[in-house]
Every structure is written in structure tokens, then in C-alpha cells.
Amino acid sequence: MSNCYVVTVIALYKPMHKQLTNIYITNQSVIDATVAMFLFFTTLFEDDKRKRTPGYGSDEAICRLWYTKVSSAW
């Protein structure tokens, strides 16, 4: 929640747009908020126990990214 607040303040206050440090802070806040949302949803929705097909694109992505909770390693 605080990450969204930081992004909003920097986005609405024009003098903060020109400083390189604020651009880095904004980028880090967006990344942190994205990871937090991803972790929230991976803990909320567990594996549905459906058989996954190796080599099938969406099944591979679900197994590698969602069920392994790969974002916690970042």
C-alpha cells in the first residue's frame, strides 16, 4: 500500500519528475508492489491438482512461475 502512495506522490508533484533519484524510487516502488501482489495471490490461490502437460506453453508457465512461487526467490 505504501508503495502505491509513493508512486502517487511522485507522479502528482511535478518538480519530483526531474530528479534521477525519484525515478529510481518510483521504479523500485512499482517493482515492490508488483512482487507483493504476486505473492499475495500465489498464497491465496493454491494448486488445483489438475494434471499439467509438459511442453504445453500455458501449463509450463503455470508450473514454472505460479506453483513454484518463483518471485519469492527474487
Task: Delimit the domains of the chain by residue range.
Answer: 2-73
Q: How far apart are CA 15 and CA 22, in angstroms?
A: 10
pLDDT digits (tens, 9 = 90+) for 24-71: 999 999 999 888 887 787 777 666 666 766 777 777 777 766 666 555
| pTM beyond cutoff 0.85 | no
CB 70 within 8 A of CB 35: no
Please state, in angstroms and as integers, the Cα–Cα distance from residue 27 to each residue in 1, 9, 40, 55, 61, following that order.
15, 13, 20, 34, 25
